[in-house]
Amino acid sequence: MSNVNTVNETVSLLMNHRSVRQFTDTQVTEEQLNTIISTAQRASTSSNVQAYSVIAITEPELKGKLAAFAGNQAYVEQCSVFLVWCADLHRLKQVTAPHLGDKPSYEDSMENLIVATIDVTLAAQNAAIAAESLGLGIVYIGGIRNQIAEVSQLLGLPELVYPVFGMCIGYPEQENELKPRLPIEAVLHKNGYNKEQSVEQVKAYDMTTKQYMLERTEGKNDTPWSQVMATRLALPHRLHMKKFLESKGFMKK
Amino acid sequence: MSNVNTVNETVSLLMNHRSVRQFTDTQVTEEQLNTIISTAQRASTSSNVQAYSVIAITEPELKGKLAAFAGNQAYVEQCSVFLVWCADLHRLKQVTAPHLGDKPSYEDSMENLIVATIDVTLAAQNAAIAAESLGLGIVYIGGIRNQIAEVSQLLGLPELVYPVFGMCIGYPEQENELKPRLPIEAVLHKNGYNKEQSVEQVKAYDMTTKQYMLERTEGKNDTPWSQVMATRLALPHRLHMKKFLESKGFMKK
């Protein structure tokens, strides 16, 4: 296969992404942060709603508290900037209120929760890629949803805002290996959903991940992916999410 | 301000994204599509769950039906490849079932709906950026949620899979203008959520968007952003989403 037309600097950057969980002491500059957030703002957004906010945490005490809330993840404290990416329908509600008067509005619909969650994720991924292109490393932190109510209170998040994930940014201390992903045929379907193919391909992936684990643990662990996933799905993980989102004014319609 | 250290090829690409809604007849190659989906697969994914699938639609009849479901958006039919990005917990459920036996599992939690929605969006944004780096143009199509049940049936989506958005890919026929975004201070908060600042900045943005509209419509339209958003929020838009997601087995816990 010739790769002549499909490899360029950006594709290489995307193909080489790995999460970074150890950072040097060198700080991210204000200019870098502005570039990163500016690229985030250029991402697509549903009908230009821009339904997100991002909170840059640099105060050591705040980072320490967030690290604890996220399940004692040291890199949240250690990284130069910790970004908390929030789905935000509060700003929209505030600025549209004077135009709406007594008219009903639907910022609290399931659809708008989905829209805001997509918007913030598109923006965050642009930020991740921009950061990596500048030689920085990042890791997404879903752990801030472990104690989502406490995180929200600490950061003063109003109604109709929820913290979707965090992101550590800093200069990488080490380079991790690339983890193998599912075969492309497991995720890419043609002209319709192909149940059999998707599940069939996981068998091959189980062999790959078994081998990968064996090599990484010097023969101590050979758990295939599907079994790791089974253990994960069997955990009653963050079952507070539905009630929390409802309590913040989401999903009323 | 010196931009020496913060501008590079990738940052420029991200800063110059614009949606493309008119495409030439030149087709996307199989090799390009493989590169695009491979970069999508390298995006971060929560605990490596890879909870998404993407359906590449190239059959003209299918594209035509999807274009109609999406509110008669001609570019869905006209583009070379139409990708339907799906949050997918079905594959996980299928492949973990043999390991779980009678144990309870939580693929149907709100948390996992959020996880799958984030996963698919991170992957899609990598794909969008890769496509643009190859000289292609894209536009996200939230319109496939207009008739989400019909779209799901047409593509044979099983339980615990939902189509989050579509994406047209092809060679751009025209270059659109860059739309102004909110001032960075409206979306970027420091060490805590700043309600006043976020709302205050919208006033400046209303002036910018008013001016932008005036110029684009030769003086016919001067609606500021907050008013456009008010009109949007007042529409009972896609209120079927909550029931639809529940009917597909999501958000039971």
B2–A31 C-beta distance less than 8 A: yes
| pLDDT at position A72 over 80 | yes
Residue B189 lies in a domain: yes
pLDDT tens string A185-200: 999 999 999 999 988 9
- The alpha carbon of residue A59 is apart from the nearest alpha carbon of chain B, in Å, by 7
Question: Is residue B2 pLDDT above 60, yes or no?
Answer: no
Q: Are residues B167 and B193 in the same domain?
A: no
Looking at the domain assignment, is residue A252 inside a domain?
A: no
For residue B2, tell me if it sits in a domain.
Answer: no
Shared domain check, B127 and B17:
yes
User: Are A155 and A242 in the same domain?
Assistant: yes
Percent of chain B with pLDDT over 70: 98
Q: What is the pLDDT, as a whole number, of residue B1?
A: 41
Asked if the structure places residue B108 within a domain, the reply is yes
**Considering its fold, how many domains does chain B have in total?**
2
Does any CB of chain A come closer than 8 Å to the CB of residue B216?
A: no
Q: From the list B31, B99, B129, which residue is nearest A226 (CB)?
A: B99
Instruction: Give yes or no: residues A94 and A129 share one domain.
Output: yes
**Among residues 131-160 of chain B, which lie with CB inside 8 Å of chain A?**
133-134, 139-140, 142, 145, 155-158
Angle, helices A195-216 vs A225-233, to 10°: value is: 100
pLDDT of residue A1: 40
User: B16 vs A82, B101, B204, CA distance in Å?
Assistant: 26, 50, 22
- Residue numbers in A near B43 (CB within 8 A): 14, 17, 125
Residue A3's pLDDT band (boundaries 50, 70, 90)? very low
Question: Taking CB atoms and an 8 Å limit, are B55 and A117 in contact across chains?
Answer: no
Task: Enumerate the residues of chain B whose CB falls inside 8 A of the CB of residue A235.
Answer: 106
Are B76 and B172 found together in one domain? yes
In-domain check, residue A2: no
Q: Are residues B211 and B95 in the same domain?
A: no
The pLDDT value given to residue B5: 66
Q: If pLDDT is split at 50, 70 and 90, which confidence band does A171 have?
A: very high
The strand ranges marked E within A15-128 are 52-57, 81-88
CB-CB under 8 Å, A56 with B111:
no
pLDDT tens, position by position, A28-46: 999 999 999 999 999 999 9
Q: Of A81, A66, A73, A90, which Cα lies nearest the Cα of A29?
A: A81
Beta carbons within 8 Å of A180's beta carbon, 6+ residues apart:
A205, A208, A209, A212
User: What average pLDDT score do residues A47-58 get?
Assistant: 98
A–B interface: beta-carbon pairs under 8 A: 361
If we measure between CA atoms, which residue out of A250, A242, A73, A244 comes closest to residue A167? A73
Supply the CATH number for residue B50's domain: 3.40.109.10
Q: Are A71 and A143 in contact (CB under 8 A)?
A: yes
Residues of B in contact with A30 (CB under 8 A): none
Tell me the three-class secondary structure of chain B, residue by residue.
CCCCCCCCHHHHHHHCCCCCCCECCCCCCHHHHHHHHHHHHCCCCHHHCCCEEEEEECCHHHHHHHHHHCCCCHHHHHCCEEEEEEEECHHHHHHHHHHHCCCCCCCCCHHHHHHHHHHHHHHHHHHHHHHHHCCCEEEEEHHHHCCHHHHHHHCCCCCCEEEEEEEEEECECCCCCCCCCCCHHHHEEECCCCHHHHHHHHHHHHHHHHHHHHHHCCCCCCCCHHHHHHHHHCCCCCCCHHHHHHHCCCCCC
- Say how many residues make up chain B: 253
Are A208 and A180 spatial neighbours (Cβ–Cβ below 8 Å)? yes
Same domain, A128 and A167: yes
Look at residue A227 and tell me if it is in a domain: no
Per-residue pLDDT band for A177 (boundaries 50, 70, 90) equals confident
**Are B126 and B199 in a shared domain?**
no
End-to-end Cα, chain B, rounded Å: 50
The rounded percent of chain B whose pLDDT value lies above 90 is: 94
Mean pLDDT score, B109-113: 98
Q: In terms of residue numbers, what domain contains A191?
A: 184-222
